[in-house]
Amino acid sequence: MPRTTILIIDDEAHVRMLYAEELKTQGYHVVLADGSENPQDLLSMHKPDGIILDIKLGQSRSGLDVLQQLRCAGATQPIILCTAYDSFRYDLKSIAADAYVVKSYDSTELIDTVMRLVAL
């Protein structure tokens, strides 16, 4: 039986690794992306069951734009926005996300949100 796959899109490698280890411990299969990839390609290649998306993907890319691209590409799986910037919660572009979690090195809230939205 295939394992439930979570795609983590974050430009910070240490954050990707932290979330990946936590999710693997819970039994999820994890795919990592740094945000430079084409969102449609990531969807078709990995077929994730859920997506964790950072809002600020480096200097030149917005996670909110990636969110819109994912939804326009037909992504129906839960997308969890995860960022250190709480102000983005009120950006109208973020309405396409299923949840919003403020980034922290204590990943309890994020893991709980994934487990609530993406069943194993």
Which two three-digit tokens encode residue 37?
Answer: 């990839």
What average pLDDT score do residues 67-75 get?
A: 91
How does DSSP classify residue 47? -
- pTM score: 0.92
Whole-number pLDDT of residue 89: 64
Of 91, 2, 103, 1, nearest in space to 52 by CA: 103
% of the chain at pLDDT higher than 90: 68
Q: Which H or E run includes 70?
A: helix 63-72
Domains defined along the chain, listed by start: 5-115 (3.40.50.2300)
Mean pLDDT value across the chain = 90
d(CA 73, CA 11): 21
Of 30, 24, 26, nearest in space to 10 by CA: 30
